[in-house]
Structure formats: structure tokens, C-alpha cells
A and B are shown apart, each in its own frame.
Chain A
Amino acid sequence: MTTLQPPVAAEARPAPPPAKRDRRSWTGWGFIGPFVAVFALVFLAPIVYSIYLSLFRNQLIGGNQFVGLDNYTRALQDDAFWSAVGRVALFLVIQVPIMLGIALLVALALDSGRLYGKSFFRITIFLPYAVPAVVATLMWGFMYGTKYGLVGDINSAFGVSLPDLLSPGWVLASIGNIVTWEFVGYNMLIFYSALRVIPTSLYEAAEIDGAGQWRIISSIKLPAIRGALVIATIFSIIGSFQLFNEPSILRPLALNSITTDYTPNFYTYSLSFNGQQHNYSATVAIIMGVITMIVAYAVQLRGMRKGA
């Protein structure tokens, strides 16, 4: 999905415990200064510069011109942009629940203590996380192929004709499968880590009260890992909206299905690096960033309120 997606095991709780009020001085800056300096250079400065860029237009005659919010009005009426947003929204609504649902089931199964070969499964299902998106997409891209791929093998072995997974009607689902394959184990591990710190005394008390396994899962385990569920959901949403690697690497195999404005991110990339429309590209990126933050924030509010 994206290489910058930070691996988060943290529960969404307010903050780590505050440091003791030992001494309030500038000494701490000596330690955090380097981080803040680089952070300002690669996070804050580009955001500010992006906003600046979005207010200008570069013309052949006249050079850089201040145009106010013109780029924004253009983006809001841009069909290519909105159909890309619609595509990732569709992807998000279907792929994220499937991926997180499987990850949750696997984590609960691992935590139940009822599996043979538990540590084998834990590491095996996590392994795809170590595979770069480029390699994952190349592998699946080959396997999807009707010529060399597994789809072709199945077709000739059973005399069937499976649909072309790289055709326009199927390619979004095919990308969804790649992303699911890459991140199901990673999310599973987050849920599993959260499950492992539930005090076992809770289970004992519940059993004495006559609770069955399903009751323990629904009344103890799921509420206890709600924070992890919310965090994983938010990062999956951000990942879906940022979708770029998989479609861009799959594109050479599916030229008819994946256009250069297939996702919002692909669109900003193409505008900037093939079309030289840096100002408009920055505008589209800002709008997409704002949409992402609004959705992520809404999910967080909802997730934290539920049953709290």
C-alpha cells in the first residue's frame, strides 16, 4: 500500500504517562532537537510550500501568477479527480472490512489456545509484511495472467475460462486481493498483541460466572482491543486513500484497465511528473489530504464513543 504507513501496535489511548516533573529546562531540546529539525524540513515545510503552490498558476506567458482559489474551484469540478475518489472509496468500503475481519478472526484463533502449531501460523501469516509492495504486485500480477499465470493453469487444467482478473471489471478486486495479502498479517499481529495483554483473571472470573467462549470474545476481548481496532481502521483508511504502488506497478500488465488517473494519488503523480502541472497537482493533493483527515477523524470519534 504505502511504504510510509507506520507500523502501529499502539492502542489509541490519550498519551503515554507524562514524565515526572523533575526539571523544566531546555535540556530536553538537546535530545529532541535533531528530530524536530528534520521533521520541520520534510513534513512542515512541504505542507506550507504545498499551500503556497496551490494558490498560483504557472503559465507559459507571464510565469507564475497568483490565482487565489482558482485551482480549488477547478479541482472541485474535475470529473477525473472525483471518479478516482469514488474508486478508492469503493475499494475502502469493501477491502478494509474484509482484511480487518480476517485479521481479527486469525488473531482470536491464535489467542484461543486451541490451535495446533500456533507459532508456525503466527509467523507464516505475518510474512507478507516483509515483502515489498513492488514484489507482491509483480508476483500476483504474474499469477493473475491468463498466459503464464495460475489463472491460465486452472483454465487449461479444468477446461474452464475464468474471467480475466486484469480486465476493467475485475482489476479493482485484484488490487484488493494484493493489498489484503500484504497487510492481513500485519493487522493480525496488532490485534494479537493487544489481546495478549488482557489480564487472564478476567477470563477466569467470566468462566466462573458461566460465560462461554463466544460470550468472552464479545464481552471481554473485543471491548478490550477496541483501541487497536480503531487505530488499524484509521491506518487502513489512510492507506486506501493513498493507493498508488499496486495500481502503478500493475499498470503495464493492464494498460486498458488502469488509467493514469486511476486513484487520486496516481492522478497527482501523473499531473506533476507527466503533465508538469505542479500547482494543480499540489491542490489535488491538499484536497485529498483534507478528505482523508476528515474521514479518519470521524472514524476515530465514532470508534471511541461506541460503548465508552
Chain B
Amino acid sequence: MSTSVTASPAKNTAPRLRTPRKKHTPGKPKRNVLLTVLMALMALYTVVPLIWLVINATKTQSGLADSGGLWFAHDFALWDNIRTTFTYHDGIFGRWLLNTLLYVVLGAGGATLLAVLGGYALAKFQFPGKRAIFAVVIGAVAVPATALAVPTFLMFSKMGLTDTPWAVIIPSLVSPFGLYLMWVFAAEAIPTELLEAARMDGASEVRTFFQVALPLLAPGIVTVLLFTTVATWNNYFLPLIMLKDPDWYPLTLGLSAWSSQAQTIGGDVIFNLVITGSLLTILPLIAAFLFLQKYWQSGLAAGSVKE
């Protein structure tokens, strides 16, 4: 982050990796073994299903049936499973992966862009209707998403958008939380005097935004982008309603289709592919969270900054 950003929320956020906060107490608190053991039990609870997933992705369909869940079967079929996952049914899994990427790039990318522009406007401009926008957007967060699902489907269907990628992308473009986070972030990170100075020098609003404001917003943008990406990557309900053609499915919908295929009469039982596909679906997001830790943690904490 730029050193000139003295008011940046990220400065106040403790959970950054390399800038430990001052000790809680005058004396250093004693490490507690019992507390650590209890915490380890909790961590075990969150991790066991993931370990189960990794182990079982190495098994064949028959290995799944006759070996214990938390240990390997005789045959180690991970590479086979990955290959079959990508080749089964003419490589439809690869197609779902590309669809998911498309929805993420356009949906989450677009949502972040709209949130950054809107948050900047709310933080740095006075304009007619501003209060109304705030009230309506915050109120909308409380409206159950599914109350909107059926009418949105019917509307989109009249507009000829259902069963096209747009039916998934357009609703993903609105992230009220992203807007809120960018608003708080922009208010803290961009000194109004800096904008005034740019305007005095004759810069247009567009140029002021791109050259002065945007660089200061970078940490907030990364956080919003990461969380809208998770929302889009994990989206299930919206595509379930909007899409009939398996060629446009995202990974989530494809996996659930593979899983329920075993229940239909004469359906191919491919639990090994469901498990391997699940593993392949979560790896990119887990990697993103691990590598971008310091960004999203500081960005999340930005919402908790005391004023």
C-alpha cells in the first residue's frame, strides 16, 4: 500500500501478518495448552471433511464402497480420476470450469467495478437522491434473495435471457455489501483535499478518479473482488433456476447433476468423479484465500474500523 495513505483503514487493521499489534496486556499473556487443545479439536472439525475429500478422491468407484472413509484404498486412482473427470461425457467438466470462470470474470469483476464507482460517489460527492439510494440499498440486503428469484426468472424469461450466460451474470453484478465496503473504504482512504487539488489543476472528474482515487482504493478493491468471486464461484440457486442447458452450467450445478444422476434409474453411478470434481472445484478458491490472506483480512477489518 502506498505510504501517502495516512488515513487508510488498513492502517488500523490488526490482523495483518507482519505488523503485530501491541500486546494486550502489560505482561505478555501466558500461552495456554488447554485452550490450544480445545482449539485443535475445533480445527479438526473443520478439516476432517476436507481430508476425507482428498483421501476419497484417490479411490475408484469400487474402492469407495469397500474401504474405510478416512484411509486410502489399495488402489491409488487420483490421476485416473482427474483424467476421467475431465474426459467424461466429452469433457463437460472442463466446459463447466470455463463457464464458472466466465461468470466470475464478468459477474464478480463487474460487481466490483460497479461497487468501486458507486462507493466513490457516495463517499466523495453530494448529489440529489443520495440518502434515498442508501436507504433502498441497505433495505434490499434484508430482502430474501429467493423472494426475488421467481419474478426475476419470469422477467428474464420474457426478455429471452434465461438459459443464456447473461441470466447468471446480470444478477451477480449487484453487491450491496461491496458497495457498502467501498464506501467506508473510500471515505477513509481518499483525502478530499487531494481531489480538490486535482480539480484545481484542471483535471476532469474521470481523470481525477483514475489517477488520484483508484490507486488509493487498491486494498479495498482486492477485498471486494475476492468476496464477490467467492459468491459467484459458489453460486448455485441462481443458475439452477436460470439454466436448463448443461452446456452453460457452472461447476456447482454440474456437480449436483452428476451426484443426482446416480439416483435416476439406469443412471451412471460416478461418485468417484463427483468427489474428485468437488476437490478440483474448491482448490482454486482455497488457494486464493491462502495467497491473498493479508489483503482480505485487512479489507474485512476495514468495515470494523472505529470512527
What 0/1 readout, one digit per residue, does chain B (254-287) give for beta carbons within 8 Å of chain A? 0110011011000000010011001001100110
Determine the residue in chain A with the shortest Cβ distance to B139. Answer: A293
Q: Are A32 and B171 in contact (CB under 8 A)?
A: no
A128 at the interface (CB under 8 A from B): yes
Q: Are B278 and A138 in contact (CB under 8 A)?
A: yes
A46 at the interface (CB under 8 A from B): yes
What 0/1 readout, one digit per residue, does chain B (122-156) give for beta carbons within 8 Å of chain A? 11111111100110110011111111111111110
Determine the residue in chain A with the shortest Cβ distance to B184. Answer: A16
**Most chain-A Cβ atoms within 10 A of its Cβ — which of B39, B68, B187, B253?**
B39
A308 at the interface (CB under 8 A from B): no
B248 at the interface (CB under 8 A from A): no
Cβ distance B56 to chain A, nearest Cβ, rounded Å: 7
**Most chain-B Cβ atoms within 10 A of its Cβ — which of A3, A121, A293?**
A3
Q: Are B125 and A42 in contact (CB under 8 A)?
A: no
Q: Are A3 and B150 in contact (CB under 8 A)?
A: no
Assuming A115-B32, A127-B50, A268-B150, is B233 touching A289 (CB within 8 A)?
no
What 0/1 readout, one digit per residue, does chain A (117-129) give for beta carbons within 8 Å of chain B? 1011111111111
B102 at the interface (CB under 8 A from A): no
What 0/1 readout, one digit per residue, does chain B (277-305) give for beta carbons within 8 Å of chain A? 01001100110111001000100111111
What 0/1 readout, one digit per residue, does chain A (9-41) give for beta carbons within 8 Å of chain B? 111010111011111111111111011101101
Determine the residue in chain B with the shortest Cβ distance to A196. Answer: B14
What 0/1 readout, one digit per residue, does chain A (92-126) give for beta carbons within 8 Å of chain B? 00000000001000100101111111011111111
> Looking at the complex, which one of A10, A152, A281 makes contact with B181 (CB distance below 8 Å)?
A10
What 0/1 readout, one digit per residue, does chain A (122-161) give for beta carbons within 8 Å of chain B? 1111111111111110111011000111101100010000
Determine the residue in chain A with the shortest Cβ distance to B27. Answer: A207
Contacts of A6 in B (CB 8 A): 141, 175-178, 227, 231
Q: Are A127 and B24 in contact (CB under 8 A)?
A: no
Assuming A3-B234, A43-B143, A285-B150, is B301 touching A9 (CB within 8 A)?
yes
Contacts of A26 in B (CB 8 A): 127-128
Cβ distance B107 to chain A, nearest Cβ, rounded Å: 11
Contacts of A102 in B (CB 8 A): 42
> Looking at the complex, which one of B21, B118, B236, B256 makes contact with A200 (CB distance below 8 Å)?
B21
A4 at the interface (CB under 8 A from B): yes
A75 at the interface (CB under 8 A from B): no
Q: Which of A66-74, A76-84, A167-175, A185-193 contacts B (4 or more CB under 8 A)?
A: A185-193
Q: Are B174 and A132 in contact (CB under 8 A)?
A: no
A89 at the interface (CB under 8 A from B): no
Contacts of B230 in A (CB 8 A): 7, 129-130
Q: Are B31 and A115 in contact (CB under 8 A)?
A: yes
> Looking at the complex, which one of A35, A149, A242 makes contact with B146 (CB distance below 8 Å)?
A242
Determine the residue in chain B with the shortest Cβ distance to A265. Answer: B146
> Looking at the complex, which one of B38, B171, B234, B274 makes contact with A109 (CB distance below 8 Å)?
B38
Contacts of B146 in A (CB 8 A): 2, 242, 244, 265, 268-269, 285, 288
B94 at the interface (CB under 8 A from A): no
B5 at the interface (CB under 8 A from A): no
Cβ distance A257 to chain B, nearest Cβ, rounded Å: 14
Q: Are A9 and B300 in contact (CB under 8 A)?
A: yes
Q: Are B147 and A289 in contact (CB under 8 A)?
A: yes
B200 at the interface (CB under 8 A from A): no
Contacts of B30 in A (CB 8 A): 114
Assuming A16-B184, A119-B17, A135-B278, is B130 touching A28 (CB within 8 A)?
yes
Q: Are A43 and B126 in contact (CB under 8 A)?
A: no
Cβ distance A74 to chain B, nearest Cβ, rounded Å: 16
Distance between Cα atoms of A296 and B139 in the complex (Å): 11
Assuming A3-B236, A49-B151, A245-B236, is B127 touching A24 (CB within 8 A)?
yes
Q: Which 10 A-B pairs have the closest CB atoms?
A: A28-B125, A6-B177, A28-B127, A31-B121, A9-B303, A35-B118, A132-B234, A289-B147, A196-B14, A10-B303
Question: Could you list some 13 contacts between A and B, CB below 8 A?
Answer: A2-B146, A3-B237, A4-B145, A31-B121, A114-B30, A121-B43, A147-B65, A157-B68, A185-B46, A190-B300, A193-B301, A197-B12, A200-B22
A residues with a Cβ closer than 8 A to B are: 2-4, 6-11, 13, 15-17, 19-32, 34-36, 38-39, 41-47, 49-50, 53, 102, 106, 109, 111-117, 119-136, 138-140, 142-143, 147-150, 152-153, 157, 181, 184-185, 189-190, 192-194, 196-197, 199-200, 203-204, 207, 228, 234, 238, 241-242, 244-245, 249, 252, 255, 265, 268-269, 272-273, 278, 281-282, 285-286, 288-289, 292-293, 296-297
